[in-house]
C-alpha cells in the first residue's frame, strides 16, 4: 500500500491547525497516511496539544518563519510517502481526497502535480478554484477558472490539464522531486506555487486539476485588507516570477510595462484610497529585484 505524506505549516494559528488535524483524522486512514506539521516560527510551541489530537503526528519546529515554501520544504525533506500532499492548515478535507488524487497520478503518469476543486469553507456553495488559465508572460496575468461560481456540481467529473495548481491543496510524487526540485524559498509569500508549477513543466510534466474530489478553504472570499507585507511581496514576486521563468527579452519588456503601467496604476489607486503608507512598499518590492539580480534569498522585509 502506497504511503501519502500530508504536509501542513502552522504560523500562530493553533485553533485553525487543530481543526485541520481533526479533519484529516476523520477523513483518512492512518495505515496509508503520515501527517507532518511544520511549526513555522510561531510565538508558542503547541506540540503536545497538536499530538493530543493526532497521534503519530510528525512535528517539526522551526525557530524562524521560513515562509510558505521554506516551511513546506522542511516537511518534504523528512517525508516518507510515495505521494506528497501539501495542504494549507486553514483547509478541511473530504473522505475521498487522497484516494482520488493518487488514482489520478497513477492513471496519468504525465501528471506532475495536481490540485482538487477548492470551495470556500464559510460559503461552501461558492467555488474558489477549478483550475487556472495559462499565464500571459508579457503582463504576468492569468485567470482563475470557476472562481466565484456557484457549485452546481459542474466540475465533478472534470479532470484535465490546467495552467497552475493552487497552493492551498496540491499533490505530487516524491520521486519527481529528484528532477524538479523543491519550491524556491526566496519567494517567501505569493507566486511560489506558480514558480514550482513552471519547474514541473520544464521537467516535462503536466499540471492537472480534478473536480472528482474537493477541499474547503477558510480563506475569505474578499481580497482582504491591504497590508505592507502583502504589497511588498506581491510587487516583488511578480517581477521575480518573470525573471525566473521567461527569457531576458521578455523580462525586459515586462519590466518596462510593470514600472510604467502596472505599478504606477497601483500607486495611484493607493493614493486614491488614502493608503499612501503602502506606496513605499511598492518601491521596495521593485528595488529588491534590482539589488538581488541573482535571486538572492534575502527577503528585504522584516517579518
77: number of CA atoms within 13 Å, CB side? Answer: 10
Task: Confirm if 123 and 203 have CB atoms less than 8 A apart.
Answer: no
Q: Cα separation of 208 and 162, whole Å?
A: 5
14-31 pLDDT, tens digit each: 999 999 999 999 999 888
Q: What is the mean pLDDT of residues 156-160?
A: 96
Number of Cβ atoms within 10 Å of the Cβ of 247: 10
| Residue-wise pLDDT tens digits, 228-276 | 999 999 999 999 999 999 999 999 999 999 999 999 999 999 999 999 9
Joined together, the cell numbers standing for residue 224 give: 482582504
Coil, helix or strand at residue 39: strand
Banded model confidence at residue 223, pLDDT cuts 50, 70, 90: very low
Rounded to an integer, the average pLDDT of 66-93 is 97
Amino acid at each position: 500500500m502506497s504511503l501519502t505524506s500530508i504536509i501542513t505549516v502552522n504560523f500562530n494559528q493553533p485553533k485553525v491547525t487543530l481543526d485541520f488535524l481533526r479533519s484529516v483524522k476523520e477523513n483518512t486512514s492512518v495505515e496509508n497516511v503520515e501527517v507532518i506539521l511544520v511549526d513555522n516560527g510561531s510565538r508558542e510551541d503547541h506540540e503536545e496539544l497538536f499530538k493530543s489530537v493526532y497521534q503519530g503526528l510528525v512535528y517539526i519546529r522551526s525557530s524562524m518563519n521560513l515562509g510558505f515554501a521554506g516551511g513546506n520544504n522542511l516537511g518534504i525533506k523528512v517525508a516518507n510517502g510515495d505521494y506528497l500532499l501539501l495542504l494549507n492548515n486553514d483547509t478541511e478535507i473530504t473522505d475521498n481526497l487522497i484516494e482520488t488524487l493518487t488514482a489520478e497520478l497513477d492513471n496519468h503518469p504525465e501528471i506532475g502535480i495536481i490540485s482538487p476543486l477548492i470551495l470556500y469553507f464559510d460559503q461552501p456553495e461558492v467555488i474558489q478554484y477549478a483550475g487556472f488559465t495559462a499565464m500571459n508572460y508579457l503582463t504576468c496575468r492569468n485567470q482563475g477558472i470557476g472562481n466565484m461560481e456557484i457549485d452546481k456540481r459542474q466540475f465533478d467529473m472534470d479532470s484535465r490539464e490546467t495552467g497552475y495548481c493552487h497552493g492551498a491543496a496540491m499533490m505530487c510524487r516524491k520521486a519527481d522531486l529528484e528532477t524538479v526540485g523543491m519550491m524556491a524559498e526566496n519567494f517567501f509569500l505569493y507566486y511560489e506555487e506558480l514558480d514550482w508549477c513552471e519547474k514541473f513543466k520544464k521537467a516535462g510534466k503536466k499540471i492537472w486539476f480534478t473536480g472528482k474530489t474537493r477541499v474547503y478553504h477558510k480563506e475569505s472570499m474578499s481580497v482582504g485588507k491591504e497590508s505592507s507585507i502583502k504589497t511588498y511581496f506581491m510587487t516583488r514576486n511578480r517581477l521575480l516570477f518573470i525573471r525566473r521563468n521567461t527569457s531576458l527579452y521578455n523580462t525586459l519588456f515586462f519590466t518596462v510595462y510593470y514600472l510604467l503601467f502596472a505599478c504606477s496604476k497601483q500607486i495611484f489607486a493607493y493614493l486614491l484610497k488614502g493608503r499612501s503608507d503602502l506606496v513605499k512598499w511598492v518601491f521596495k518590492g521593485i528595488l529588491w529585484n534590482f539589488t538581488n539580480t541573482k535571486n538572492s534569498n534575502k527577503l528585504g522585509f522584516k517579518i
